[in-house]
Chains A and B, each alone.
Chain A
């Protein structure tokens, strides 16, 4: 029993190290040009060499992502509550929302550049635009699916619509909300990097745009690696917050079993 859990703890590390080892071996065995696919050793070397700029740009990207994500949470909660609480708002805004969600957000970046120029706003707004939708949908679902009997109990006490949304709808939509954050944060991250790539002078996206113009392939991959690490950190943070906030929703052993 004890040994099995130790294996489980070690497994992610073993698989990760194994993955890079395979990559390294494959690059050497097949003599892949480092211009096409640099081996991990070269990438890590580049990460060391460019540690300063990588950190600087990563922090900027993190900042852009969190700003856009914060906006998405604020707006997503408000719109989600409105949609969940009011059938009228839900039916009325449905075509608009679906239409808006269908637009690939990359296509919006040029418009953002025209409006706001090159700078921090386009990445933040791209992150926001791309990530609020899942939050809205999840919060609205959580509120709209209140059990009719719970609603009856409260209405028979004279509770207003808003009372029911506040006392039941919002708390019960929290697991949906935090669940959607895991999706939204990943999307926001994609959005900010796209925004930086096209319309910023800083950030990992911008660093990659410049590295690719210079054909600096190891730096390009080093930046990718930095994105991966940062992405994992952001994701884990969201999961941690979710666990902290909605312990009551994880009362079943289903996921653990």
Chain B
């Protein structure tokens, strides 16, 4: 079913060199990938291969030296205004309560920005609704540093979603969490994706995570990063955690592992 839709995010033959790179070597080279609207894709690859760079290119935080990036049919020349992002580090602002942290995107994105005073009560209710969805009911008044790492990560997901972005970029959001919390949050993400039809790009080191969540998985080569393999995950949705023990699932994970091992040897 993927690939039929017109691409929502497209990187076309993209090469990127960081201005600060000492050797001037590209971080990604001749990389192409396309993500359909509402699709959930995962990007896996060896460390330092340029996965985060792909995220930055797709959101207009960096611009490629060669090739084009298109989001929602338009060429990206400035930061896209419709993305929600979450990273491995929850990046909550410590001087704001969790609830105030969640409201931050609404203070920036129009049309909420001009309405934040008028519609405050509505927004607060919405934020509390999201917190409840991720299992943080009633934690809004606490400061982020009074929450555990996993709780902060949940809050950070809520912050990425509060303005109902069309595009959700997750860069190893569960990297620092224990296996149980991680699987719990997989389900949270799965449900949010199913409920909202948001396009999700997930960067991860965890092949099981990629396989469980994504419709399609891209494997990247070692630096300079390129897409070396693409795997459609044809497991039926909705998936639940049991699926991770089925032979089909394990087969995909092993196939991905082989690709990554190869990419690392090639380096």
Residue A150, interface by CB 8 Å? yes
CB 8 Å contact bits of B154-169 with A (1 = contact, 0 = none): 0000011001000001
Query: Interface size (A, Cβ < 8 Å)?
Result: 21
Q: Which residues in B have their C-beta under 8 angstroms from that of A174?
A: 95
Complex Cα gap A248–B60 (Å):
33
Q: A157-B83, A158-B79, A158-B81 are in contact. Are A152 and B61 (CB under 8 A)?
A: yes
Q: Chain A's nearest CB lies how many Å from the CB of B180?
A: 25
Q: Which residues in B have their C-beta under 8 angstroms from that of A171?
A: 93, 95
Give residues of chain B (32-86) contacting chain A, Cβ–Cβ below 8 Å: 56, 59-61, 79-81, 83-86
B91 touches A248 (CB 8 A): no
Closest to B159 in A: A153
Complex Cα gap A172–B95 (Å):
8
Range of interface residues on chain B? 20 to 34
**B93, B108, B143, most chain A CB atoms within 10 A:** B108
A158 touches B94 (CB 8 A): no
**A154, A163, A172, most chain B CB atoms within 10 A:** A154
Residue B129, interface by CB 8 Å? no
Complex Cα gap A153–B104 (Å):
10
Q: Which residues in B have their C-beta under 8 angstroms from that of A158?
A: 79-81, 108-110
B83 touches A163 (CB 8 A): no
B143 touches A149 (CB 8 A): no
A157 touches B163 (CB 8 A): yes
Complex Cα gap A152–B160 (Å):
12
- Of B86, B89, B104, B145, which contacts A251 at CB under 8 A? B145
Complex Cα gap A155–B80 (Å):
8
B85 touches A163 (CB 8 A): no
Q: A149-B87, A171-B95, A248-B95 are in contact. Are A156 and B108 (CB under 8 A)?
A: no
Q: Which residues in B have their C-beta under 8 angstroms from that of A163?
A: 108
Chain B positions within 8 Å of A, measured between CB atoms, are 56, 59-61, 79-81, 83-87, 89, 91, 93-95, 104-105, 107-110, 143, 145, 159-160, 163, 169
